[in-house]
Structure 1
Amino acid sequence: MARETARTAIGELHKHPAFASRILRRKRDVIVYLPPGYDLQPQRRFPALYLQDGQNLFEGATSFVQGKYWRVAETTNELIAAGQIRPLIIVGIDHAGPKRAEEYTPIPSKKLGGGKAERYGGFLLKELKPFLESEYRTLPGAHNTGLGGSSLGGLVSLYLGLRYPEVFGKLAALSPSVWWGGRWIHEFARKEKFPVRPRVWLDIGTQEGARVVQDVRAFRDVLMAKGWIPGLELHHEEVPGGTHDEEAWARRVGPFLRYLFPATKATV
């Protein structure tokens, strides 16, 4: 499969254009960030983090609001250089444009449609993840594998992470739309059995609306009732003045990377 490599000031990015999915019957671009020194350590394997809405992660030209993006590569490079996080591979998965809400939601909404998150999960687990593991030196195991996103991307990351905790052991949910479907994911988490609990970063900005803040707070309470230990397994944060946009989420990249992939003497 075609691969385009760009070595820039922010590190090495590999683009897999028009990655085709038989499960979803559509194509999308996938961008892979490799940590500094990846090529110089051919025997070393790295943790992997899969992020939704890939258009908004690495460059302003492709983001939802032009010029406003998450600065994932820049922030990751800085944290690795400072010895604060483990060097890791980050995969940006482009959303499906007009079909974004369809793929990112676990059940349909009468007004908004959707409900194809399980099929999207099939694409991740059966097509994209195996391909990337054959192309790049990723570490095996849920404790080395993360999933994340914002808004509906945060919702689908929570759903798939809780649905497949044996695959994804680290979840980053920034301003997640846990209100979707009458708080459907709250009830899903209440009923689900968790033989293992992924480590969860859960945040919301105080300027995103009082009701949304309460929705996320209530979901935190659901996880705690299921056994998640605050601090150790669950970080919940209400960001003062935080808004629902790429610039706000860019400021949270460093904190959630430090929480989910903290450096140890053995991994730096």
Structure 2
Amino acid sequence: MGTQIRAQAEMDSGLLPVSAPDQAGIESIHPRLRLHPQFHSQFLPSDRDVTVYLPPGYDESPQRAYPVLYLHDGQNLFDPRTSFVPCRTWRVAETADAVIGAGEVEPLIIVGIANAGEQRINEYTPTRDWRMGGGDAQRYGDLLAGDLLPFIADNYRVLDGPQHTGLGGSSLGGLVTLYLGLRHPGVFGRLAVMSPSVWWNHKSIVAYVNERGPEIVNKPRIWLDVGDAEGHRTLADAQLLERKLEANGWRLESDLHFERVHGGTHDEAAWAERVGPMLKFLFRG
């Protein structure tokens, strides 16, 4: 395993939260965050915290329903107490407030799904690698579509249909986003594929794009990005993925945007910088 891949694999192993969040604590970070601790699914054994961001005006507009973006690695999105790197988050709530307030993005609900710590690699990978294991992404997708989406719809005012439902993540979270978006295009119609771990299991995701792409009539809109300081192999893999998506019917700047970020690195601070542009492409105001 190469040095760059090994470093990503170590990051992808996941960490348990450094402190247990609570509703009062999460509201002190942002007043429109709602915490659902230890969400339980029938499909996977590990419970996980779910954090919901509500857009400006949600309480003041009780008749309005909103699109939803589901993001993996929820520990890293909002709360500096639980992030992979302490005190360094994606700043999702602050950024969403800014771009919604500027009229650049339609108001939306954002749901952060905490990873399952030691089970992160298993749940975020679509195939089993003979060295590293994994391969439970299909069951994780069942958790999302079968348990979490109905739970959110029961508790919040959401718009239905793939055109109003997004999925996103980085690294292995980017990998599982693309896999589940291609597997369930009738559920997830907007995908944020950030610094994806294309390398997993001999780049099996590329073969999956070639397999599923031609079958999908209504292509999910995809934001794909990579930093040019993430390593030569990571950059080359993302460029390969972009070419394969185009070859299978995605159209640049229509339903596909590829962002090569100058100086972009493989960490929370870098992904935080990409949240605004990603939201603008997937959920234009």
Q: TM-score, normalised by structure 2?
A: 0.89
1:146 pairs with one of 166, 169, 173: 166
Match of 1:234 in 2: 256
Match of 2:9 in 1: none
1:204 pairs with one of 226, 237, 241: 226
Match of 2:200 in 1: 180
Distance 1:7 1:137 in 2: 20
Match of 1:266 in 2: none
1:89 maps onto 2:109 in alignment: yes
Match of 2:138 in 1: 118
Distance 1:184 1:20 in 2: 30
Q: Which has the larger strand fraction? A: 1
Identical pairs, percent: 52
Q: TM-score, normalised by structure 1?
A: 0.95
1:209 Cα deviation after fit: 0.9
Unaligned runs of 5+ in 2: 1-21
- 8 Å Cα contact 1:52-1:148 kept in structure 2: yes
Distance 1:21 1:163 in 2: 20
1:246 pairs with one of 268, 272, 275: 268
1:50-98 per-position Cα deviation (integer Å, ceiling 9, x unaligned): 0000000002111000011100000000111111100000000000001
1:120 Cα deviation after fit: 0.3
Distance 2:85 2:260 in 1: 24
Cα distance change, pair 11–79 in 1 and its aligned pair in 2 (3 A): farther
AA in 1 matched with 2:253:
G
**SS of the residue aligned with 2:32?**
strand
Distance 2:29 2:47 in 1: 28
**SS of the residue aligned with 2:33?**
strand
1:56 maps onto 2:66 in alignment: no
Distance 1:60 1:7 in 2: 13
1:1-268 equivalences under 5 Å are 4=23, 7-8=27-28, 10-192=30-212, 193-263=215-285
Distance 2:283 2:201 in 1: 31
1:98-146 per-position Cα deviation (integer Å, ceiling 9, x unaligned): 1100000000111111000000000001011111111000001111110
When structure 1 is superposed on structure 2, of 97-106 and 107-116 the one drifting more is 107-116
- 8 Å Cα contact 1:105-1:156 kept in structure 2: yes
Distance 2:27 2:84 in 1: 24
**SS of the residue aligned with 2:43?**
coil
- 8 Å Cα contact 1:11-1:77 kept in structure 2: no
Distance 1:169 1:4 in 2: 30
Distance 1:28 1:136 in 2: 19
Unaligned runs of 5+ in 1: 264-268
